[in-house]
Amino acid sequence: MNFAKLGLIEPLLRTLQQRDYSTPTPIQAQAIPAVLAGRDLMAAAQTGTGKTAGFALPVLQRLALEGEKVASNSIRALVLVPTRELAEQVHANIREYAEHLPLSTYAVYGGVSLNPQMMRLRRGVDLLVATPGRLLDLFRQNAVKFGQVQTLVLDEADRMLDLGFAEELQAVYAALPRKRQTLLFSATFSDQIRMLAGLALNDPLSIEVSPRNAAATTVKQWLVPVDKKRKADLFCHLMRKQRWKQVLVFAKTRNGVDQLVERLLAEGVNADGIHGDRPQATRQRALDTFKAREVQVLVATDVAARGIDIDDLPLVVNLDLPIVAEDYVHRIGRTGRAGNKGEAISLVCADEVQLLSAIEVLIRQTLPRHEEPDFIPDHRVPMTDASGQVLKKPKKPKKPKENSAKRGLGKWMDSSEDSAPTVKPVRKVPSFNSGPRKRKP
């Protein structure tokens, strides 16, 4: 099958040909006709399988062929994404796809000045990519109007429907026209998200081109048990031993990102970091230099876990396991994309055994363990399996208590068995009858 058979128009086919897109991926082959037909859609596919093109191409085609010209401060299609980095990535792809179409596209997100975004929206935008918080800021200042919206896309929909975005999404939903097409795309859908999606979509078509919540088969996964305090040491050891050239590292906290970056820079490794406390321009520069291979190690929180497309990234390392199991699938999906091979290594301590178990249940496989001889943990990581069972830690054999019987006798017995007991002299206590006798009167 080729893209022409999916019903795409010539300008889009020309763009795809220029980019050597010859055969649609399974998610594209199923999603594009459904979106062109106007169906609501809930589509799940592994990361790196072309989900963005799966919704962007048909949405752009519908905008080009249907509807009136966009009015001032208005938009005709809205793509909501959870992070600034993903907004940039998705918009860059959409802008390329729309190269030969008479359509305008734009992206808005926080961390940068609001005024330039307000000025750009005055001319109207056919397709807007946005994070929910900044979109609501613009809406409340009358900088954007939703009256012409005909299509809503939730990219990384599981995160967009997460409780963290619930209030913002509710406010956006309330302002959107009821008659619209709604598309949900993600690599993972929990049962709770599926239930919520059922309330937001109209008779949706469900597409799953891979087992639910499955990790990419092109990624080799394994873990190394280690004590929590030695994770940074182990990472530096592995980097030297394996001679890693380019690696994306995920840490749980912003402090964890900063500390590892500082450690690597001190050891002469070209490293940078991304987290929520850093200005957007700094975050984007770090990502751009990493993509250009000017930075060897990029350390990030989960702001970089979704939708970041890095060509031929060979390796992802989880310095810390994610709190939400689904985020593991998205993290390791930064490697092994578009049919390439990749590797994902997790450094796991005893405190993370429940997180590990949840991940293995989600991906339905037990991660193999490779121990590093110099980093065998004192606090052993219990064995787990894909059934969700966590085997109890093997009890350490109790050390024999030396002279326990003697210690029970307290100070009456010396530490030496052959010596006679050392007894402190007992002070003589005077009896009640002792003392000076009273004189008889």
What CATH number has the domain bearing residue 310? 3.40.50.300
- In the listed set 152, 173, 208, which residue is the last one of a domain according to the structure? 208
Q: How deeply is 262 buried, as exposed, middle or buried, from its count of CB atoms within 10 A (0-12, 13-18, 19+)?
A: middle
Asked whether residue 244 falls in the same domain as residue 200, the answer is: no
Is residue 302 in some structural domain?
yes
Tell me the residue range of the domain where 182 lies: 3-208
290-to-69, 127, 273, 310, 393 alpha-carbon distances in Å:
40, 28, 10, 9, 40
The answer to whether position 408 is within a domain reads: no
Q: How far apart are CA 441 and CA 437, in angstroms?
A: 12
Q: Is residue 50 part of a domain?
A: yes
Looking at the structure, tell me whether residues 10 and 57 fall in a common domain.
yes
Cβ distance 415 to 406 under 8 Å?
yes
What's residue 362's pLDDT?
87
End residue of a domain, out of 178, 208, 238? 208
Q: What is the pTM of this model?
A: 0.67
For residue 397, being part of any structural domain is answered with: no
Euclidean distance between CA atoms 263 and 247, whole angstroms: 15
Q: Residue 407 falls within a domain, yes or no?
A: no
Same domain, 194 and 256: no
In a domain, 74, yes or no: yes
Mean pLDDT by 10 residues, the chain (441 residues): 90 92 90 95 78 95 92 97 89 95 96 94 97 94 96 83 72 90 82 68 83 67 96 95 93 94 95 88 88 93 73 90 87 78 94 94 91 93 80 48 38 36 46 47 45
25 plus 119 within the same structural domain? yes
- Sign of the CA dihedral 320, 326, 330, 336? positive
Is residue 153 a contact partner of residue 59, using CB atoms and an 8 Å limit?
A: yes
Q: Give the Cβ contact number of residue 292 at 10 Å.
A: 8
Same domain, 226 and 113: no
Classified as helix, coil or strand, 249 is: strand
Say if residue 173 is in the same domain as residue 201. yes
Q: Are residues 187 and 275 in the same domain?
A: no
How far is it, in rounded angstroms, from Cα 382 to Cα 384? 6
Nearest by Cα to 131 from 60, 182, 79: 79
Phi-psi sector, 112: left (phi>0), alpha (psi -120 to 50), beta: beta
- Let me know: does 169 contact 160? Beta carbons within 8 Å: yes
Kindly report the backbone phi and psi dihedral angles of residue 346, in degrees, each rounded to the nearest multiple of 5, phi listed first.
-115, 130
Does residue 422 form part of some domain? no
First to last CA, the chain: 132
The CA distance from 441 to 439, in Å, is 6
Q: Which residues pair with 381 in a beta bridge?
A: none
**Do 161 and 104 fall within a single domain?**
yes
Coil, strand or helix: which one is 359? helix
Domain count of the fold of the chain: 2
For residues 76 and 70, what is the distance between their CA atoms, to the nearest angstrom? 7
Helix, strand, coil % over all residues of the chain, rounded to 5: 40, 15, 45
- 204 shares its domain with 227: no
pLDDT value for 378:
92
Q: Is residue 84 part of a domain?
A: yes
Per the DSSP assignment, residues forming a β-bridge with 219 are 342
Same domain, 47 and 10: yes
Are residue 162 and residue 270 in the same domain, yes or no? Answer: no
- The C-alpha atoms of residue 146 and residue 75 are separated, in whole angstroms, by 6
Integer CA distances (angstroms), 145 to 129, 141, 188, in order: 14, 10, 31
At 155, which helix (H) or strand (E)? Answer: strand 151-155
63 and 171 part of one domain: yes
Domain boundary among 318, 340, 375: 375
CA distances from 156 to 188, 292, 335 (A): 8, 25, 17
